[in-house]
Each structure stands twice: as C-alpha cells, then as structure tokens.
Amino acid sequence: MSRLLILGGTTEATRLAAALQDWPQLEVQTSLAGRTQQPVLPPGAVRVGGFGGVAGLAHHLQSESIDLLIDATHPFAAQISQNAAEAAQKVGIPSLILQRPAWVPQAGDRWISVPDLATAVEQLANLGDRIFLTIGRQELAAFAELRDRWFLMRMIDPPAEDAPLPPGEILLERGPFSLEHERSLLMQYQIDAIVSKNSGGSATAAKLQAARELSLPVVMVERPVLPNVQQATTLDAALQWLKMHC
C-alpha cells in the first residue's frame, strides 16, 4: 500500500481523488488551503489548512509516511507549488504537477497578454470605464487606486471587510458558467473590458467566447513559472504516472 498526498483546491484534484477511489493499492489524502467557506470536498480523506512553509510540508510528508505527491493546485497558486517541489525533493519522494493547459487565443480574440496584475492595471488606461474583474477576491487591491473606473468583481466568497477595493459591484458566483450567462452579464453591465487570469479549463472559459462575440478586449494575466518538476496536463497522464510509481 502506497500513500499519496494530493494538493488540491481545483476540479482536477477532485477528479483525481475520485478516480483513485477504487485503487486498492493507494491510500489518498487531499489537502485544501481552507480559503473557500464551502469548498467542494473531494472524496476520501481531506485535511485543511497551510502546512507552515517547506519545512512544515516536509514534516507532514514524513509524519504521514507519504510516498508520492501530486500538486494539483491552481496554476496561479505559485507559492504552494514551489513549496511542494522543494519539500518532495527534501524528503526524497517522487512528485508530479497536474495542471490543466492554459487557454490560447483564437481568431477574433482581442487579448492583451500581461505577466502580472500590476501590468494589467497599466493596460486598463485606454480600455474603457466599465471593467469585469474575474481574478477572484485575494488580489483586488491591485485595482483599488483606479477610482475613475467602475468594476464588476466576481468571486466565490466575499472579500475581507477591510480589503481595499476599487469602485463597483461585487458579484458572488461559483462556476461553471454558460455562454448565455456570460453574454448577458457583459451586456447587462455594459462591460468595456475583462481582466482574467489564464486559468485554463472549461468551467470559466465561456466569458472568453462571449468577449470574442462582443469584440471586447481581455487583459489576460499569464501564468507564473512552474518549478522544475515533472508535469501532466490530463487526468489520464497523472494516472499513468501513478501506475509507474506504485
């Protein structure tokens, strides 16, 4: 019997844990950061909360006798991915990053690709007055200085009460979102431009199609660089990797 730790918080992590339910040779634990108030819980054992950096994660791997680590966190969760790579190397266990492919622009898209949110803020200067911010709730402060613009800010849970926010409206919604939903949202709020992280996946991709149809610009924040760890982009590839290791 081998023990696998999945670092989760994504659809991919939940699907992986579900697919491993009938693997008798593997005991699976999924770890969630604990950011979302009512998370979608994966099947099987779940632990919640930070580990305490690389040292804390390495300690967890050893004390729980973990043999294998799959980092299936969100493409923009850069800190935990770095910690995972270092901790796995420290304790000498194989690790894999499972990450969905990034979105790529299609004909008709008006994307402005930027490396980070600070550059996204700069790019908004000439893109209109009404902006749809689809970056979650943790980094809204980057836009708080833009007092002359109006923002529709979508997220799952509300921001902290003392979080600096730009002017606008908070929209609490959890994906997946349909094309009809996204199209009517953009039209109802008379949106001029969208800011998105290049998260990839199908659950939140409809906003990009709706933007294409309406010829709206999308400021696309590209992904942070991953640590130098073996990668899989599909569930099947992750399962193949596991078969090789247990």
Residues at the interface with ligand NAP (CB under 6 A): 7-10, 31-33, 35, 50-53, 56-57, 73-74, 76-80, 83, 136, 197
Taking the least distance from each CB to ligand NAP, the nearer of 3 and 197 is 197
Nearer to ligand NAP, 31 or 95 (CB): 31
Beta carbon of residue 213, minimum distance to ligand NAP (angstroms, whole number): 25
Residue 71 CB, nearest distance to ligand NAP (Å)? 8
The residue at minimum Cβ distance from ligand NAP is: 50
- Owner of token pair 């930027």: 114
SS3 category, 9:
coil
- Report the nearest approach of ligand NAP to the CB of residue 129 (Å): 26
* Token pair 């290791």 in the structure block, residue: 245
> Which of residues 101 and 108 has its CB atom nearest to ligand NAP in the complex?
101
Chain centroid to Cα 113, Å, comes to: 17
- With respect to ligand NAP, which residue has the nearer C-beta, 50 or 108? 50
Distance CA 69, CA 89 (A): 10
Nearer to ligand NAP, 35 or 245 (CB): 35
CA–CA distance, 132 with 192 (Å, rounded to integer): 8
| SS3 category, 137 | coil
In whole angstroms, the minimum distance from the beta carbon of 107 to ligand NAP comes to 28
Q: How far is the CB of 180 from ligand NAP (least distance, A)?
A: 24
Q: Which of 210, 215, 229, 212 lies closest to 88, judged by CA?
A: 229
User: Cα(9)–Cα(191) distance, rounded to whole angstroms?
Assistant: 29
Asked if 44 contacts 30 with a C-beta cutoff of 8 angstroms, the reply is: yes
